[in-house]
């Protein structure tokens, strides 16, 4: 059986934690930052975990994660 290919777009967006969960960065941090409060922008810097309902589909995109 041939090797499975990793989807490069998924590889750039997601990382695996030590326990196998998937980390992602938060959205809304690219532009239109003047109307957002500093507290809100600080919260957007932090990473977040992908919901369990989407984990299965993302793991298909990254078979060797």
59 pLDDT exceeds 90? yes
pTM of the model as a whole: 0.84
Q: Where are the beta strands (DSSP E) in the chain?
A: 14-16, 22-25, 47-49
User: pLDDT of 18-30, one tens digit each?
Assistant: 999 999 999 999 9
Decide if 58 contacts 50 (C-beta within 8 A): yes
- What pLDDT sits at residue 5? 95
Question: What's the token pair of residue 36?
Answer: 């957002």
- What pLDDT sits at residue 65? 83
User: pLDDT of 20-57, one tens digit each?
Assistant: 999 999 999 999 999 999 999 999 999 999 999 999 99
Cα(60)–Cα(65) distance, integer angstroms: 10
**CA-closest candidate to residue 58, choices 15, 4, 28:** 15
């Amino acid at each position: 059986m041939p090797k499975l290919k990793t989807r490069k777009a998924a590889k750039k967006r997601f990382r695996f934690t030590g326990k196998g969960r998937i980390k992602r960065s938060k959205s809304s941090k690219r532009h239109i930052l003047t109307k957002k409060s500093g507290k809100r922008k600080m919260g957007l810097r932090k990473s977040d975990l992908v919901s369990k309902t989407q984990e299965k589909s993302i793991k298909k995109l990254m078979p060797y994660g």
